[in-house]
Amino acid sequence: MREQLREKIAGEIVLSADAGKTIRKWREEFGVSQQDLARHLKVSPSVISDYESGRRKSPGIVIIRRIVDGLIEIDEERGGKVLKKYDLGEKIDCILSIREFKSSMNAQDLIKVIEGEPLTKGISLDRDIHGFTVIDSMKAIMALGSMDYLKIYGWSSERALIFTGVKFGRSPMIAIRAHPLKPALVVYQRPEHVDELAIRLATLENLPLVRTNLQVPTLVERLEGLE
Give the tens place of pLDDT for each residue, 86-106: 765 556 778 899 888 877 899
19, pLDDT greater than 80: yes
- Domain parsing of the chain, residue ranges: 2-85, 95-224
CB–CB of 171/137 below 8 Å?
Answer: yes
Could you please state the CATH topology (level 3) that the domain comprising 2-85 is classified under. 434 Repressor (Amino-terminal Domain) (1.10.260)
pLDDT at 144: 64
pLDDT at 148: 62
143, pLDDT greater than 70: no
pLDDT at 65: 92
2, pLDDT greater than 90: no
Rg (CA), the chain: 18
Task: Give the pLDDT band of residue 58 (cuts 50, 70, 90).
Answer: confident
Cα–Cα distance list, 149 to 67, 88, 227 (Å):
24, 11, 25
How many H-runs (helices) and E-runs (strands) does the chain carry?
12, 6
Closest listed residue to residue 144, CA positions, set 183, 166, 172: 172
CB–CB of 208/125 below 8 Å?
Answer: yes
pLDDT at 104: 84
pLDDT at 147: 56
Strands 209-212 and 116-118: antiparallel
**Which phi and psi angles does 158 have, rounded to 5°?**
-80, 70
pLDDT at 145: 61
Strands 185-189 and 160-164: parallel
1, pLDDT greater than 70: no
Task: Give the pLDDT band of residue 5 (cuts 50, 70, 90).
Answer: confident
For the stretch 150-188, what's the b/e string if a residue is b when 16 or more beta carbons lie within 10 angstroms of its beta carbon? bbbbbbbbbbbbbbbbbebbebbbebbeeeeebbbbbbb
pLDDT at 61: 87
Q: What is the CATH number of domain 95-224?
A: 3.40.1390.20
Q: What's the chain's average pLDDT?
A: 88
223, pLDDT greater than 70: yes
Task: Give the pLDDT band of residue 139 (cuts 50, 70, 90).
Answer: confident
Full DSSP string of 141-196: HHH--HHHHGGGGTT-SSSEEEEES-SSSHHHHHHHHHSS---SEEEEES-S---H
If one counts every other C-beta atom within 10 angstroms of the C-beta of residue 79, the result is 9
CB–CB of 71/30 below 8 Å?
Answer: yes
